[in-house]
Every structure is written in structure tokens, then in C-alpha cells.
Amino acid sequence: MNIKKGHLELVLLVLCSAVVFLFLLNMDSRERVILLYDLDTRMETAFEEAITGRALNWDVQKIVFSDSLERELEHLGERGYSIIIGPRTSSQAQILVPLLEKFEMVAIAPAVTSPEVLKSTDRIISLGVSDDYQVQEIVRKLFEEDINRLIVVKDVVNRVYTDYFVEMMKEKFSGTVLAVYEISSGFDLSIPETILDEADAIFFVTNPRQTAVSLRHLARLDKDLSFFASDYSEGPELALFGCSDIVELTIFTFLQEIPAGYNSIDSVHAGIHNAVVFADILLTSGKGLQEVFATPERVEFPGLGGRISFNDLGFAELAVRTISPQAGE
């Protein structure tokens, strides 16, 4: 075959360029991290703030939690991704567990609190606080507030979390749980007046929008009631949909004291920030991911608001405290 010298040089140039490109591609030493988030935009915003603040040059792939999750994780696993920041809820984490096993990945969750989920795997560490401990502290505080007759309102979407949490509340509460009402939107909450008249307080185990919508209705009934909620009610939608009525609410949270410069931050926002810090430390430590996740009680690092450590299940060991949301936050 007769190949002209100029053509041969062009072919060699193309081949050399391809080799160099592949070499440089393989030389990309950036840490590969997956952000697994949902329509709750706090997660993506908090993630971007954290990696920018720490000047991290990660190779990030963002995945919205959806029916295509397994296919997307399989594809990313083949490309060398092995650590996930997310998901947000306990129900999402339960779905994720078998996929972590299948694709040999690990996840740092910002606010998962279900003991049932973390007991089922050693591939998730959570910046959330166990529901068992939260309920223990909540019922103690309700007792101190002289709350003896309680109505509980629960979400039906994140059932892995809400079912367990409410059952623990019913078991541990020293007074009487008069009734439990399940809602999907907040507009569908209907409590008989006789029950409202008998109650001292209403406790919400619902998301921010559900809590806000329910509270706006209940706060206008002119009843002598106190309103409490779990950390699940934290988030921007609480003020957006609840307006001034949210000042009536007391939220139990594991959000710690936050340094100056962080305004309107909630437990998920703080959890994402701390997850990024933890992932950065972990990825640059040289330790095997599975080794660290198998013994979370050995982990400690400086997080937002103070040092963070974990128990043997992988939950953050943080104190539960109360906050009063402000209108307009």
C-alpha cells in the first residue's frame, strides 16, 4: 500500500493525540463524588456552598432520586465513583441500601434518622441523630412542659421515618396520645373539635409544607394548644407557606449552634455541609472506605458548629435541642 509521507505524518499525529488524550483522561486525579438529591433544593445549594468554601476540585456527578437510580449508579460505578453524599430521607435510604451493596458504594447521609435503615447496612453513615434518642429527649421535654394529652400528625410519604417515630412516641410518651392523624398535603387534616378541646398540644411529624399548611389552619381556631414538631419540619417551605403562624411552633432539632455568617440554616443544610467536610477528610486520608464505614464509632472530625463523632450504628452523636422558627426565615 502506497501511503504518502504527508498522510503518514497526519495519521501518526492523530494516533499520538489520541494516546495523549487517553493518558490525560486517566491522569485525572480528582476525587469522584456523587450528590444524590431530590427536589428539595436545600441539598444542592448547601453542597455547592460547601465545596466552594473548601475550594474542592471534585469530579461531581449529581443524580436526582428517581426510578432510574439503579441504572445511573451502575453507570457511575463502572467509571470509578464509590462515595455518595445523600440521600435526604430515611425512605430513600432504605431503597438505596441494596444498591450500595450491589455496586460496592458508600453513602454519607445529611439527616437520615431511622435505626432500622442503619441497622441493615454498614455502608451508610448519617449526620442525623437516631430516632430512638430523639424521641427519648422529646418526651422528656414534653413532660417538663406539662404536656399530658397529645395529638400527633404524621406524613404518609416518608413512612420508613414517620411510622417508626410515631410508634416510639406512643410507646415512650408518659401522657396520653389522644389520636394520630395521617396527612399527605396538610390541606387534608381534619381533627374533631372534641379532640382539640381535650388536647394540650399537637406534635407534627411532617415535612415543612405539610406542617405550615396545617399550622395556618389550626392557629386560627382559637384553641389553647401548644405546637411542636420534629426536625422533619425544618426547611424554607415552613416560612414560605406558614407565614407568621410558624412563630407558634417549637421544633426539636439536632442542629447545633452555627457560626456567624450562616443565616436561616437547618439540619439538612448543616448535614450536607458536614457530609462534604467528612468526605473530604475521608478521601484524602488514604483509608479504605469500607473499613471506615464498618467502624463509625472511631470517626471524629471538626464540623459546622463543633466536633462530630458517631455511634456504632453510624449516627451522629449530637444533642437534641429546641428552636423557634421566625416568620420570613
pLDDT-derived band at 223, boundaries 50, 70, 90: confident
* Start-to-end CA span in the chain (Å): 76
How many Å is the Cα radius of gyration of the chain? 24
Q: Which residue has the higher pLDDT, 174 or 222?
A: 174
Q: Residue 180 — very low, low, confident or very high, per pLDDT cuts 50/70/90?
A: very high
Residue 240's φ and ψ, nearest 5 degrees, are -60, -45
Q: What is the pLDDT of residues 21-76, one digit of tens each?
A: 544 444 457 899 999 998 766 899 999 999 999 999 999 999 999 999 999 999 99
Alpha-helical (H) ranges within 79-192 are 90-103, 115-119, 131-144, 159-172
Can you spell out the DSSP letters for 166-180? Answer: HHHHHHH-SSEEEEE
Residues in the chain: 329
For residue 271, give the nearest of 230, 314, 226, 304 by alpha carbon.
304
pLDDT confidence of 11, banded at 50, 70, 90? low
Cβ atoms 132, 110 nearer than 8 A:
no
Is CATH 3.40.50.2300 what the domain over 32-129+260-309 is classified as, yes or no? yes
Task: Taking each helix axis as running N to C, give the angle between helix 267-283 and helix 42-53, from 0 to 180 degrees, rounded to the nearest 10.
Answer: 40
What's the pLDDT at 262? 59
pLDDT tens column, 267-308: 888 999 999 999 999 999 888 888 899 999 999 999 887 899
Q: Give the model confidence (pLDDT) of 132-158 as tens digits.
A: 999 999 999 999 999 999 999 999 999
Mean pLDDT over the full length of the chain: 88
* pLDDT value, residue 123: 97
Q: What is the pLDDT of residue 22?
A: 47
Q: Is the pLDDT of residue 17 over 90?
A: no
Closest to 290 (Cα-Cα) out of 85, 124, 75: 124
Region 85-95: what's the mean pLDDT? 96
- Show Cβ contacts of residue 69 under 8 Å, excluding neighbours closer than 6 positions: 36, 63, 95, 96, 99
Cβ-contact 202, 151 below 8 angstroms: yes
Q: Do domains 32-129+260-309 and 132-253 have the same CATH topology?
A: yes
Instruction: Name the grid cell of 192.
Output: 374533631
- Please work out, in degrees rounded to the nearest 5, the angle formed at the alpha carbon of residue 51 by the alpha carbons of 24 and 328: 150
Looking at residues 92-114, what average pLDDT do you find? Answer: 97
Instruction: Write the single-letter amino acid at 109.
Output: A
Euclidean distance between CA atoms 123 and 117, whole angstroms = 10
Return the pLDDT at 273: 94
Query: What was the pLDDT predicted at 324?
Result: 84
Question: Quick check: 230 pLDDT over 80?
Answer: yes
For position 23, what pLDDT does the model report?
42
Largest separation between any pair of C-alpha atoms in the chain: 98
pLDDT on residue 238: 87
Residue ranges covered by each domain of the chain: 32-129+260-309, 132-253
pLDDT at 25: 45
Q: Answer whether residue 258 shows pLDDT above 70.
A: no
Protein fold of 132-253: Rossmann fold (3.40.50)
Beta bridge pairs of residue 153? 181, 204
Which amino acid belongs to residue 58? W
